[in-house]
Amino acid sequence: MFGKHHALTEDFPQYRDRIAQLMQNDAKFAQLHAEYAQIDEEVFRIEEDIETPSDEYTESLKLRRVALKDELYAMLKED
């Protein structure tokens, strides 16, 4: 199929160290990252036909994943 994981460290390799730092020192970042990873895994399972929810549910997951990635990226760019 076409499932692909979208790990932050793969999508933003230039921030690999920053991601590790924030995961240890920023509870909000860690919580958002955990939610992002959980949604990413769920979308992957849907795209691989392991799970088959409605199209509306799948689209809502994808929109939430994008919103989380935007928020996490903004946090990564902060000094």
pLDDT tens column, 14-70: 999 999 999 999 999 999 999 999 999 999 999 998 889 999 999 999 999 999 999
pLDDT at 1 over 70: no
Number of domains the chain is built from: 1
**In the Cβ-directed half-sphere of 60, how many Cα atoms lie within 13 Å?**
5
Identify whether 60 is part of a domain. Answer: yes
pLDDT at position 45: 93
For the four alpha carbons of 44, 75, 32 and 30, in that order, the dihedral sign comes to positive
C-alpha 70: how far from its chain's center? 9
Identify whether 3 is part of a domain. Answer: no
pLDDT at position 4: 79
Expressed as residue numbers, the domain containing 46 is 8-77
